Amino acid sequence: MSVYFISGIDTDAGKSIVTGVIARTLLKKGVKVITQKFIQTGCRGISEDILKHREIMGIEPQEVDKDGTTCPYVMTYPASPHLAAEIDKITIDTAIIHRSTEKLTALYDKVLLEGAGGLFVPVNRHYLTIDYVQDNGYPLILVASSKLGSINHTLMSLELCRMRGIDVKYVVYNDFPNDSEIIKNDSITIIRQYLDDHFPNCELLELPVIEGNKWPELHIG
């Protein structure tokens, strides 16, 4: 697939870091890759998550960033997209987002489309992020974290994908904050067992805690 949708098990699971690290890894291997942000809230101008991706990738903002292609909707209020759009008096048209993705797929080999929060984040009052992923048939990269409670959030997200027929290609376990090695190892074991039972073709990757700008590699096919 040329497009992967990247979602987290909740807010601050580490989606932007994972997206940037995967893009950096692919770029170093000679793949023509770009990242896209589904919807950005809480900033102005170029999406702050897109800028974080570019920082990790080690490249300057691209023309497709400056003209809004990589993130057509940037809202000022730091809230769920549906509420931020209402506050800014914007109507989100997912067809515009999809056309931006199609434009990027014509220019690049891989597009990494980062969502906003988790899968059940509302785009508007009647449409959820998971609806968009399902409607477009995007394979999913799900980002889990080592925070307490991540087993529950991860398995629920995976179960929802199973019910919706969404193809989960990778689960990335983010070691940060890594408060307990015992909890981390047990969580990974439980997640791996669930994947073996229900998503046998899904690969479980682990993102180590990042020190400074020492970016690790996360390779996807």
Q: Output the CA torsion sign for 201, 186, 190, 132.
A: negative
Q: Which two tokens stand for residue 150?
A: 């991540």
The separation between CA 35 and the C-alpha centre of its own chain, rounded to angstroms, equals 10
Owner of token pair 């394979």: 139
Q: Which of 15, 29, 32, 37 is catalytic?
A: 37
What burial class does residue 167 get, using C-beta atoms within 10 Å of its C-beta: 0-12 exposed, 13-18 middle, 19+ buried? middle
What burial class does residue 111 get, using C-beta atoms within 10 Å of its C-beta: 0-12 exposed, 13-18 middle, 19+ buried? buried
Distance of CA 126 to CAs 55, 122, 132, 142, 170, Å? Answer: 35, 8, 12, 23, 28
Q: In the annotation, is 28 catalytic? A: no
Is the bond preceding residue 177 a cis peptide, omega within 30 degrees?
A: yes
CA–CA dist 90, 103 (Å, integer):
22
CA–CA dist 70, 65 (Å, integer):
5
Active site residues: 37
